[in-house]
Each structure stands twice: as C-alpha cells, then as structure tokens.
Amino acid sequence: MRLTSFTDYALRVLLYTAAHEEQLTTIAEIQKTFDISKGHLMKVVHLLSTEGYLHAVRGRSGGIRLGKAPEEINLGQLVRLTEPDFRLAECFGQENHCIISQFCKLPGPFNQALDAFFETLDGHSLKDMMLTRDIFGPTVERTFPQRGSSFDLGTETV
Amino acid sequence: MRLTSFTDYALRVLLYTAAHEEQLTTIAEIQKTFDISKGHLMKVVHLLSTEGYLHAVRGRSGGIRLGKAPEEINLGQLVRLTEPDFRLAECFGQENHCIISQFCKLPGPFNQALDAFFETLDGHSLKDMMLTRDIFGPTVERTFPQRGSSFDLGTETV
C-alpha cells in the first residue's frame, strides 16, 4: 500500500513554500534543497498552480508562492488531487475482468477503509504541518529516521 | 493509492476456497476461473499456506482447503500480511533521503490514517464476505461494474 512520489513531492513543495512566504520560491531552489528530479517537480508545481494551491509569477525574477492560506490547504483534499487513483482491487479500476465483480462483498469494507483513511487526513491542514524556514537550510544537522507505521516490517513508529 | 494484485489474488483464493469447502481446490481451477497468472497465484498460495490460511494436501489428488475457519480470517490481518509495504512517503521506507525527516509533522496524520484504514478492515472477516459456490460457476451471467470509491474519477460507488 503506497502513495505516489507525486503526492510526496507535492507536500514538500507546499511545506517549503509555506516556510518561505516572505519571498518567491523557485523550482530550482526546491529541487536543490531536496535533491529530487526537476522534471517530476515541474509537473507537481504545474498541477498545484492549476488547482490554485500555488500562485506562479512569471518572468526572470518570477517564482511561486502559496495560492491559499495554509489553513485552507486540507491534507485529505490534497491527496485526493495528487494521487492518480485509489485502486484497492482490480474492480476499482476501469480495466476490470474479475468474474465475481457484481457479487463480491469486499468493496464494502475496502471503500469504508478508504473513507476512514481520508476522514483522518481531512482533519489536518498545512497550517498544522508547517515548519520554520531554518529547517530547510544548510546549517541543520540531519538524521533520516524511518517514520512509517509500527506494523510495517517491525520498524519504529513516529 | 493502491493495494497490490498480490493482495487482490489472495482474497480471491480465499473466497474461492471458502466457497468450495466440501472438496479440495486446485491452483489450476482458481487460475482458470479468474483467468489470472499461474506463477503469481502459486506465490500467493505459498504464502497463505506458510501462514496457515490454507492447508495444502500434497500428491496426485492433492489441493488446498482453508487452514482456518472463515470467521478467523480477518481482513485487516490478511492485508497487513500480503502487502509488501505501507510506504505513504519516502520516509516510510528504508531508502529515505528526505532532508526534513526528523522534523516533519506529516507522518503523524499519515500513520493515523493508515491505522484508521486497518481498523476498518479489522472489523471484517472472510465469513462476512463469503459467496456461494454457484457464483464461481460457468452458468452465471456476468457484469463488470466498477466498485471503487465515489471520489475516484467520478465513478460510481458501491
């Protein structure tokens, strides 16, 4: 069970941009900070701009800034936007050949589980997640803890 | 956001086997019924047998049957077993290079959302999902409705 790196990058772009609200941010700056693919990042910024999450200023000294207040950027709504699909089983997609599709009872609990997932995210906004500007800077000593759920491979929880 | 076809196939194997409890089931029979990859199916059956969900009888007239009562086969536990990981962001995995990992607040809501997802599935067993034997047979007239969540691409809900 995964979310795409598209969603991951969208969240990083918004966190970075939110922490640098006093100036315009550039894609190059975010790319350098996180050391992630520029092509991928451009697609993310394009979608977030189209959907009003970012405001893009064109020109030589252009860049991006948040298009909404951080408290108006809801995590659940964002992930619904950035994920390409929510295919928990073959019958959730358009290419469905499963012969028990019209009888199967599994979509009930799976759709409920998906709803519960998004209801949780719906309770949080970018404002709750904001980091200070210095965290993105070069002087911070960094560690790379695994932050996944405790039942995943027996690793540490948050 | 997806679950793997490994999980999908594991559920189909268990539904089929549960509906045919009066006899041994073969992989060939399940493969033919669902028209899915035999290699993939063998890996699924191997894991389910190793973990006690199936009981495999060896030999020429061998096959598989359920290794637990349907009410003891919990959906949440099963999906935790069959999914290879729960990587909602880079920092959930072992190859994590995200520079804000130790400061980021996103793992909180994401892990909560994952917990909510599994709590929902934990409330259901295979017994609630069981289908009758005739549904898998050749005489049933079939349709292939999309059973995914209503917010996915504007398609129909359950």
Q: What percent of chain A has pLDDT over 90?
A: 84
Cα dist. A8→A34, A78, B78 in Å?
Answer: 11, 11, 27
Percent of chain A at pLDDT > 70 equals 94
Reported as type and span, the H/E element at residue B122 is helix B107-122
Please answer yes or no on whether A146 and B92 come within 8 Å at the CB atom. Answer: yes
Q: Judge whether residue A121 has pLDDT over 70.
A: yes
Residues of A in contact with B35 (CB under 8 A): 97, 99
Q: Nearest Cα to A105, choosing from B141, B90, B19?
A: B19
Q: What is the arithmetic mean of pLDDT over A102-124?
A: 96
Instruction: Indicate if the pLDDT at residue B141 is higher than 70.
Output: yes
pTM for the model stands at 0.91
With beta carbons under 8 A apart, name residues in chain A contacting B94: 146
What residues of chain B lie within 8 A of the CB of A98, using their CB? 8, 12, 34, 144
Instruction: Say what the pLDDT of residue B157 is.
Output: 38
Average pLDDT over residues B97-115: 95
Amino acid at A120: T
Q: Which structure tokens are listed for A7?
A: 């969603």
- Tens digit of pLDDT for each residue in A4-33? 999 999 999 999 999 999 999 999 999 999
**Could you tell me which chain B residue has the CA closest to the CA of A134?**
B100
Maximal C-alpha separation, chain B: 59
**pLDDT (tens digit, 9 = 90+) per residue, A80-99?**
999 999 999 999 988 899 99
Which positions in chain B touch A113 (Cβ < 8 Å)?
116-118, 120-121
Q: What is the spatial distance between Cα B146 and Cα A85, in angstroms, rounded to a whole number?
A: 13
Across the range B78-96, mean pLDDT stands at 93
Judged by CB atoms closer than 8 Å, whether chains meet at A131 and B8 is answered as no
Structure tokens at A15: 């966190």
pLDDT of A149 reads 73
Choose the closest CB to B145 out of A101, A151, A152.
Answer: A101
Predicted local confidence at residue B82, as pLDDT: 97
Residue contact B91–A145, C-beta within 8 A: yes
B54 torsion bin: left (phi>0), alpha (psi -120 to 50), beta (else): beta
Average pLDDT over residues B44-62: 95
- pLDDT at residue B112 greater than cutoff 70: yes
Strand runs labelled E in chain B: 54-57, 63-66
Q: Judge whether A146 and B93 are in contact, CB under 8 Å.
A: yes
Contacts of B98 in chain A (CB under 8 A): 8, 12, 34, 144
Whether the CB-CB separation of B110 and A148 falls below 8 Å is answered with: no
- To the nearest whole Å, the CA of B27 is away from the closest chain A CA by 17
Q: How far is CA A137 from CA A54, B43, B68, B100, B105, in A?
A: 22, 47, 55, 10, 17
- Count Cα neighbours of A44 within 13 Å in the Cβ-side half-sphere: 25
pLDDT at B94: 87
CA-nearest of A60, A4, A3, A65 to A30 is A65
Q: With CA atoms as reference, report the closest residue to B83 among B32, B38, B118, B39.
A: B118
At residue B154, does pLDDT exceed 70? no
Residue B31: predicted pLDDT = 97
- In 3D, which of A58, A40, A87, A120 has the Cα closest to residue B110? A120
Of B35, B118, B129, the CB nearest to A105: B129
pLDDT value at B103 more than 70: yes
Query: A1, B79: Cβ pair inside 8 Å?
Result: yes
Cβ neighbours of residue A47 closer than 8 Å, sequence gap 6 or more: A10, A81, A82
Q: How confident is the model at residue A158 (pLDDT cuts 50, 70, 90)?
A: very low
